[in-house]
Structure 1
Amino acid sequence: MTKRAYKYRFYPTPEQEMLLARSFGCTRFVYNNTLRFRTDAFYKDGQAVSHSEAEKRLVSLKSEFPFLTDVSSVILQQTLRDQQEAFKNFWAGRAKYPKFKKKHSKQSIRLTKAAFIVRHGQLFIAKSKEPLNIRWSREIPSEPSSITISKDRAGRYFVSMLCEFEAKPMPISNKTVGIDLGLTDLFITSDGKKSGNPRHTRRYEQKLAHLQRQLAKKQKGSNNRAKAKLKVARLHAKIADCRMDATHKASRKLINDNQVVCVESLNVKGMIKNSKLAKHIADANWGEFVRQLKYKAEWADRTVAEIDRFFPSSKRCSCCGFVNESLPLFIREWDCPECKTHHDRDINAAKNIRTTGLVGLACGATGTGIAA
């Protein structure tokens, strides 16, 4: 058994909307207040505040600020736990120092079983007598252990339920594939298939620029500015949804059709620092695409083999192994001087990725040219 999040959209009543607004505000206040206290204690006094100390301090915060009692105490406790996890990731070098939460960014609260109940296919949360009006797109496999309620910048409400489910392995397939990630085509397979690139950002680029110009002209604090800001947020959400939908469909098809998928382990964070390609790389969604391949492969009992990023997949001839030392990025096709084979740059790279990935898996190699 493993845990999986099931996300649904819901539409709160006016009373629930007010309750959630208070919950988001109290959560943000406790998080920021505790973060400031921890930061001052560390940088001024050189002392680290433990999680137990932060929880004890929550009692005095409720006495000092009575509005914190208007929401469930579970929400505030989970906020401190989330902050403690953020500090753990910071000290382990996995993340940057925790940041203060902003009022106009994405808002979220997390509830455990003590603050919600699922009864007759309906979800009730603490401090609310009416169930949430959820659009159930699919059934949940088990009773959730925790839920996360969020509101994005476009004003949409979502609930994510963490449930236990049993992953069912897919039938064994005889097919293996190597894929080369790109910008003209999001990925190219060793079979010679090219996915194309829908370029979701470019598709709405002119409309987005128009809305952003309209937003810049509005007076700060006015109702018209709030309306214009919401329009920009909704368009950004639409672009993100289109991109995520395409990524899910592509990764699912690759996992369904192939027993082994070989891919390069690219340094996306480093590549995105290139100012000329940053927007296109971000729109390609490479990091999320590889992440989805990994967890979907694990659920389906498939294998994803990652090739070392410094492997010369484009420069090596997939037929004879000759390495072309000079191959600028603008050259999309080339002829091997050894075996005279004509290569498409991307398809040749995908073939090399597949070969190297399979050899690494067969030899059980990790870290020397392949990370499986």
Structure 2
Amino acid sequence: MIIGFKTEVKVNKNRCLLLAKHAGTARHAWNQGLALCSELLKHNRANPEDKIKFPTAIDLHKWLVASIKVSCPWYYEVSKCVGQYALRHLSDAFRSFFKKTKGFPNFKKKGRNDSFTLDGSIYIDHRKVKVPIIGWLKTYEQLPQGLKPKSVTISRQADRWFISFKIEIETHSTPKAVDFVGVDLGIVHLATLSTGEVFNGAKSYKKSEFKLARMQWLNRHKQIGSANHRKAKLKIARLHRRIGNIRKDTLHKITTHISKNHAVIGIEDLNVSGMMANHKLAKAIADVGFYEFRRQLEYKRHLYGSKLVIVDRFYPSSKTCSNCGIKKESLSLSERMFKCEHCGMTCDRDLNASLNLEKAARSVVSVCGLGSADASRMKQEEDVSNC
């Protein structure tokens, strides 16, 4: 299985300046290409009879060499791969936009998500990586041996630089303590399992919200571009990085535990983007990380030999009684206990939903006969009947 490997690199002042030059060149190439593509789209809308063919990544790079590099000699101070990959990523972004899977690409700003990609002669030693132009970069941890990645991506978070590349690892099936489990995601408790286990989210943003607001409030009147303004921005970026790291650490621990110890996992296909439209719950939903939870489960099931069943988002897991199967007409978010008027069962709302998700996972496996195959995304009502 091929996964991504990311680690921090040690950089001094000179290396940090060289990495920043590469990131700035990649950002400039992206913005120039995006400006050209935007003008072409405007021209094609205004002149439908005189349409110009939309450029590919190769066309954009030829235009960059002929028009931009002539007036920007600092392009030759960095690797040629920087502009090539930036335009290739821009072409992929427009392809996703035309397929309506993502929005229109945005212009990049200095200091936000700075990154660039390199390929060519890349060598990996025990604790260092050699990349073109830049040379050897030392790391803080031991690197996988026997690898020759085709490309590496170097990115910056606050004042730290990270390098990432793809590695191939062997999957291994771990012994499972539970055959079937349903996982219900929520804000009060991040994950409630049908076995009765409850995992709480880190809620790192909520814990650091006052400190972050204080730092941003103190930075409001500092002159933009001054030394004090840069120092304050760096402190804010470090706090954002800490908030994100705490959230990722908690999600990794929970998803690894679930994938290692449960054979078949049933989880609901939540419409996270639609839920984020609710301004009253958007901050809390983003703080716990619903989408990241599911993304980690989807690739960790291959690592540890478990199966994942994605239940249809319209399946009424919260409104259905897990004991008798009777569906309630309405259930508000303030009702934390589920009370069935038919059989009289009373239990926690999230636990009841997880029990229903476990039943849904069992029905999918039994009807479709998945066996050792992976349970892919399928709808509870339509896909099961078509199997």
Q: Is the structural similarity TM-score above 0.5?
A: yes
Conservation of the 8 A alpha-carbon contact between 1:8 and 1:134? yes
Q: 1:11 to 1:191 in 2, by over 3 A?
A: same
Q: Name which of 354, 366, 379 aligns with 1:367.
A: 379
Conservation of the 8 A alpha-carbon contact between 2:268 and 2:310? yes
Q: Secondary structure at the match of 1:175?
A: strand
Q: Residues 87-166 of structure 1 correspond to what in structure 2 (within 5 A)?
A: 87-112=94-119, 114-119=120-125, 122-129=128-135, 131-137=136-142, 139-140=144-145, 142-152=147-157, 154-166=158-170
Deviation at 1:21, TM superposition (A): 1.5
Q: Secondary structure at the match of 2:330?
A: coil
Deviation at 1:299, TM superposition (A): 2.4
Q: 1:64 to 1:335 in 2, by over 3 A?
A: closer
Whether 1:69 aligns to 2:76 is yes
User: Any idea what the Cα deviations from partners look like across 1:131-176, whole Å, max 9, x if unmatched?
Assistant: 2121125535632221100012x11100002122232333455521
Conservation of the 8 A alpha-carbon contact between 1:357 and 1:370? no
User: Any idea what the Cα deviations from partners look like across 1:48-104, whole Å, max 9, x if unmatched?
Assistant: 112222121132122232111111112221112111111211122211122111112
Deviates more, 1:20-29 or 1:325-334: 325-334
Partner in structure 2 of residue 22 of structure 1: 21
Distance 2:284 2:320 in 1: 26
Q: Name which of 223, 226, 235 aligns with 2:227.
A: 223
Partner in structure 2 of residue 44 of structure 1: 43
Runs of 4+ in 1 over 6 A off after TM superposition: none
TM-align CA RMSD = 1.9
Whether 1:310 aligns to 2:314 is yes
Q: Structure 1-normalised TM-score? A: 0.93
Q: Name which of 52, 58, 64 aligns with 2:64.
A: 58
Deviation at 1:111, TM superposition (A): 1.1
Q: 1:345 to 1:273 in 2, by over 3 A?
A: same
Distance 1:128 1:194 in 2: 47
Q: Name which of 254, 258, 262 aligns with 1:258.
A: 262
Q: Secondary structure at the match of 1:217?
A: coil
Distance 1:327 1:59 in 2: 61
Partner in structure 1 of residue 32 of structure 2: 33
Distance 1:211 1:276 in 2: 24
Structure 2: state its 5+ residue gaps.
45-50, 370-377
Q: Name which of 321, 327, 344 aligns with 2:325.
A: 321
Distance 2:64 2:80 in 1: 10
Deviates more, 1:272-281 or 1:170-179: 170-179
Identity over the aligned pairs, expressed in percent? Answer: 33
The one-letter amino acid of 1:238's match is R
Distance 1:126 1:269 in 2: 40
Distance 2:332 2:146 in 1: 51
Conservation of the 8 A alpha-carbon contact between 2:311 and 2:380? no
Distance 1:267 1:167 in 2: 30
Deviates more, 1:326-335 or 1:71-80: 326-335
Whether 1:168 aligns to 2:172 is yes
Distance 1:349 1:156 in 2: 42
Q: Structure 2-normalised TM-score? A: 0.90
The one-letter amino acid of 1:148's match is T
Distance 1:120 1:243 in 2: 29
Structure 1: state its 5+ residue gaps.
none
